[in-house]
């Protein structure tokens, strides 16, 4: 399925204050060159649960998350999903193989209502060929994103089960929502797929945290009531 077979809005500028592409272009390009790249930009809105990119889909566009939250995942031989990363807006982690392969090695779907920008990859490549500083900036961004995913994987899998659940709850609290109270955007099953556990263990450990008054759970809303204890569990895990 083509990721652009959906109602979209064509834009003429990369106007977002935190836009990674805009940042890279402003560092390396004149204004008219930046406008050339952004002229091909198409914005699309996705509802929670909608697939943005399918694994195996041909790579024609460079994708930027403008608003929302997405998950990057692969489907294993047993039809189970392995979540590689959860990414927020202006994160480069969903661009890992766009310059090295012809097809996406992973799927991307929205776990919150999201706005996504698509920019023709051909135009980006033309700018890379023309401007060495821009090429180096892109390489640095991609290297940072790769290192982040590797480090996150090691952080998760170096901990015991309780430490992994504590880590993911603190991740949503501190990095995504900047609040002790938030609506968990993923299911217990998706948490298990992200941190390499069974769904049953995730449910059990979260119930233990609730019973020990570390967190409050109300349907999908989570409140971290004891940050210090949860952080200690994460560190000791």
pLDDT, average across residues 50-55: 94
The CATH number corresponding to 9-142 among 2.40.30.10, 3.90.550.10, 2.60.120.10, 1.10.760.10 equals: 2.60.120.10
pLDDT at 97 over 80: no
Question: Rounded to whole angstroms, how far apart are CA atoms 167 and 72?
Answer: 19
CATH topology of domain 159-236: Arc Repressor Mutant, subunit A (1.10.10)
Q: What is the pLDDT of residues 219-231, one digit of tens each?
A: 899 999 999 999 9
Predicted local distance difference test score (pLDDT) of residue 35: 66
Pair 22, 64: CB distance under 8 Å: no
pTM, entire model: 0.83
Residue 78, judged by CB atoms within 10 A of its CB (0-12, 13-18, 19+), counts as exposed
Domain borders along the chain are 9-142, 159-236
């Amino acid at each position: 399925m083509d990721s652009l077979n959906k109602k979209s809005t064509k834009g003429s500028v990369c106007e977002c204050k935190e836009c990674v592409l805009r940042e890279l272009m402003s560092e390396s390009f004149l204004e008219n060159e930046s406008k050339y790249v952004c002229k091909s930009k198409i914005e699309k809105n996705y509802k929670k649960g909608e697939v943005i990119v399918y694994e195996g889909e041909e790579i024609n566009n460079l994708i930027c998350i403008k608003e929302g939250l997405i998950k990057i995942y692969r489907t294993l031989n047993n039809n189970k999903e392995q979540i590689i990363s959860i990414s927020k807006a202006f994160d480069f982690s969903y661009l890992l193989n766009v310059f090295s392969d012809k097809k996406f090695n992973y799927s991307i779907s929205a776990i919150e209502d999201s706005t996504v920008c698509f920019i023709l990859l051909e135009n980006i490549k033309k700018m890379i060929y023309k401007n060495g500083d821009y090429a180096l900036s892109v390489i640095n961004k991609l290297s940072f994103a790769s290192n982040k995913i590797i480090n996150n994987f090691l952080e998760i899998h170096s901990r015991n089960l309780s430490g992994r659940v504590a880590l993911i709850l603190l991740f949503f609290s501190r990095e995504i929502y900047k609040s002790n109270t938030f609506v968990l955007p993923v299911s217990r099953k998706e948490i298990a797929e992200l941190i390499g556990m069974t769904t049953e263990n995730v449910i059990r450990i979260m119930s233990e945290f609730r019973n020990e008054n570390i967190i409050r759970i109300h349907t999908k809303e989570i409140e971290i009531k004891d940050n210090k204890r949860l952080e200690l569990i994460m560190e000791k895990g």
